[in-house]
Structure 1
Amino acid sequence: MTTTRIDTVRGADGPPPPPRAGRNRLVGAALIVLSLAATLTCYFVFTTWLPNDRTLYREYKAAEACPARRVIPRSENCLRKVTFTVEGTRKTTKNMRATLLGPEPFPRMVVPFGDRGPVLSGLQQGDRVTGTVWRGVVVVVAEGDVRQNSADAPRDEPQMTAAVGTFAGLLAALALMFGAMLAVSQNKQVVRQAGLAGVNHLEHGPAGPAFWRFGREDRQNFWDATGNPRRDV
């Protein structure tokens, strides 16, 4: 009997907060942090990454052939054709590259490729190829009349970069929305009642029944809900 009385008193004071409330707040906070990171990523993509790629491509297309020099620098803002000898190749799906041996200042160049293409697929050790060097990297490899761009060659393909930024923006919005919902989930009943009261108040005005009160069986208007004392249950 004593135990039953104690439980009844505790029940009158209201149930303790559900154990999931703390976990929901933690998950909500983590989602909000994720939304901030995604927002920064989206900002970086559209303000730095995408403009830089576009500028790099325009500079590459505007580059002219390098003049003849007795001493060739490692990096030039022009296109220089150099004869290389193939040392070896890798043609697996995850690793497509050719290792080229050339004169100074390009004694050994590792050239990555995005696909096997028309040139890489036929290269063998000892083959002679012509590489186009721009700013210290090989951007084109040619064997006879067949040419193939390397993975280092600038490309006019902003779609993928823009897709990354768009995805980051959508992720930021969704993470912020669900994070905020979880962060306040323990107060969802209060929020729901407040929302209903606001809708009813707008519908009926101050004189209409819009508010629930403890100890009352029906809704009350604004003046009664704020002006009369609470009645004992």
Structure 2
Amino acid sequence: MAVPPPTRILRSAVGTVLTLLFGATLVLIGVILVTWIAPGGARDLHAYEAAPRCPAAPAAPAECRWTQEFTVSGVRLTRSRSESDRAFLTGADGVRRETFYDSRGPVLDALDEGDRVTGTIWRGFVTEIAAEGDSQKTQDAPADMRARGLIGALLTVPCGLLMTAACAWRLLRRRAVPDPTPGMVAALGLAFALFAGGLISPVLLGKNGENLWMVAAVWLPIAILMAAAARLYVTRKRAPETVTI
């Protein structure tokens, strides 16, 4: 019978230490996201929203916003989650810009080569395109990083703390208890499950994957189900064996 991965890890001193360090790193990442990134995460967004219109086309990246006409010289839509959809825009000066997008609509999926769009330029980047009354932001548009930071902390701190606690518990009890207890195994298994659930929660929401409350609404039921499964595992392992006569 195959030994569960958490049990294999906890039976190895090296594996336990490495997993503890990984859990501590997850907690550190969450702390950094909350204390350093989240507080100033909307600074660029507020600067962009308050930026005035440029009086003339800027010769260098500027804090004001400038709009100009572009000709679409290519559109590449992908089905891969690891790649972004993109459009190539050529200005009147002949300069070709490559722009990336998180989704295909409402503008990108209607574009063909040779179409005209109006692009907004800020700090030297095309942050938005508009055509036929619709507009769409590019990946260079500033976003509210506060939500991203808090989501990151939600998905890393709980599993990191549990992972660190389970491994520390095992190391402290290693001499007294040769094999990891069901509680240790369940705690580490739950930590891994929470980490995996955290990774898939934003993916399941698609375009709403940056909404803190929606991510929490998906992650919390997963966490509850995994915690219940871990508790059931411990209960079954600790139940006295039934003797059949």
State the TM bucket, normalised to the shorter chain: 0.5 to 0.7
Residue 78 of structure 2 corresponds to 92
Kindly indicate whether the alpha-carbon contact (under 8 Å) linking 2:10 and 2:170 is maintained by their aligned counterparts in 1.
no
Q: Please say if 1:38 is aligned against 2:17.
A: no
Aligned twin of 1:132: 120
Q: 1:48: which partner in 2?
A: 36
Aligned positions, number? 168
In structure 2, the residue matched to 1:110 is 98
Larger radius of gyration: 1
Match of 1:59 in 2: 47
CA distance in 2, matches of 1:22, 1:88: 53
Work out the CA distance in 2 between the residues paired with 1:162 and 1:21.
Answer: 30
Give the percent of matched residue pairs that are identical in Structure 1 and Structure 2.
29
Other-structure match for 1:76: 62
Unaligned runs of at least 5 residues, structure 1: 1-19, 191-233
TM-score by length of 1: 0.64
Correspondences of 1:141-152 after superposition (within 5 Å)? 141-152=129-140
Q: TM-score normalized by structure 2?
A: 0.61
How many Å apart are 1:183 and its aligned residue?
Answer: 1.4
- Give the Cα–Cα distance (whole angstroms) in 2 for the partners of residues 22 and 155 of structure 1: 41
Contiguous gaps of at least 5 residues in structure 2:
1-7, 179-245
Q: Partners of 2:10 and 2:127 in 1: how far apart?
A: 55
Residue matched to 1:28: 16
- Report if aligned partners of 2:37, 2:145 keep a CA contact under 8 Å in 1: no
- Give 1:37 deviation, angstroms: 1.1
For the aligned residue pairs, the C-alpha RMSD in angstroms reads 2.5
Other structure's SS at 1:170 match? helix
> Structure 1 residues 83-92 or 32-41, which shifts more?
32-41
Cα distance, 1:74–1:103 mapped onto 2, change above 3 Å: farther
Distance between the aligned counterparts of 2:36 and 2:145, measured in 1?
15
- Give distance in 2, aligned partners of 1:92 and 1:103: 28
Alignment-derived partner of residue 172 in structure 1? 160
Partner SS state of residue 174, structure 2:
helix
